[in-house]
Amino acid sequence: MAINLTKGQKIDLRKTSGETLTNFCVGVNWGAIETKGFLGLSKNVVEIDLDLSCVLIDDQNKLCDHLYSPLYRVEVLQQFGLPKGKLLSVDGALKHTGDDLAGDTGGDDGLDNEIITVDLSKVDPKVNQIFFFLNNAGKEDFSQIPYAKIRMYEGTPTRVVSEFASYNVSADSQYVNKRSIIMGKLYKRNGEWKFSAIGDPTDDTFLGQTIHKIVQSYL
């Protein structure tokens, strides 16, 4: 049975069999905002562009790698001292499936919209923290977005084999008027990887602000 995480909860990456979870997906699922039109005869759909990203922090508490959408404008990223977005970590351990610009329409399809696959056995030994965060490229806040949640599972981006843990990020009043969430982090303790559900909403309107906040306040 999957673990339903709460804000601030920390978990070991151990399955019920006793094996350690080392190869898994971190995914975020969300829906477009759908409302009924005139007399209920039509449907209005507002596409939602959430961006799942992560940054890798080394043992000197320095930002050493990143995964975020290549669609972010380079000139804006440069204002924050950040390089162009990419979908694969330098060590090949983390891979992003790419930018989903709309969210599910017609209900939850059971698959995550953006996914980062993780192979902890390939992570560069100098990396000891990996932060996952979510930004909304639009103006809607998280309380308006249907079923936004993060989960960790074994499988592939198109097939869930076994869900390990999930964390609902849209069902809490703290996300009203917020467009950015620092969701959680993988961290290494005594040579073992663990996960912490952070779940902190921020006032950031751009990914660069969120990355600066992680580096300045969470290390």
DSSP per position, 172-216: SGGGTT--EEEEEEEEEETTEEEEEEEEEEE--SSHHHHHHHHHH
pLDDT digits (tens, 9 = 90+) for 63-85: 999 999 999 999 999 999 999 99
Q: What sign does the dihedral 126-131-132-133 (CA atoms) show?
A: negative
* Count of structural domains within the chain: 1
Establish if 91 belongs to a structural domain. Answer: yes
The pLDDT-based confidence of 93 (bands split at 50, 70, 90) is very high
Measure Cα distances from 69 to 86, 87, 197 in Å.
6, 7, 23
pTM of the complete model: 0.89
- The residue segments making up the domain with residue 29 are 10-217
Say which residue the tokens 């990355």 belong to. Answer: 211
Establish if 5 belongs to a structural domain. Answer: no
Asked if the model's pLDDT at residue 1 lies above 70, the reply is no
What radius of gyration, in Å, describes the C-alpha atoms of the chain?
Answer: 17
Establish if 1 belongs to a structural domain. Answer: no
Establish if 39 belongs to a structural domain. Answer: yes
Measure Cα distances from 112 to 3, 25, 197 in Å.
17, 10, 18
Establish if 93 belongs to a structural domain. Answer: yes
pLDDT digits (tens, 9 = 90+) for 131-150: 999 888 777 777 777 777 78
Comparing CA positions, the residue from 210, 175, 203, 195 lying closest to residue 30 is 175
Establish if 2 belongs to a structural domain. Answer: no
Tell me what pLDDT residue 60 has.
94
- Phi (first) and psi of residue 34, to 5 degrees: -120, 130
Establish if 193 belongs to a structural domain. Answer: yes
Instruction: Give the domain CATH number at 128.
Output: 2.60.60.30
Establish if 23 belongs to a structural domain. Answer: yes
The pLDDT-based confidence of 171 (bands split at 50, 70, 90) is low
Asked if the model's pLDDT at residue 152 lies above 80, the reply is yes
**pLDDT-wise least confident of 24-33, 56-65, 68-77, 184-193:** 24-33
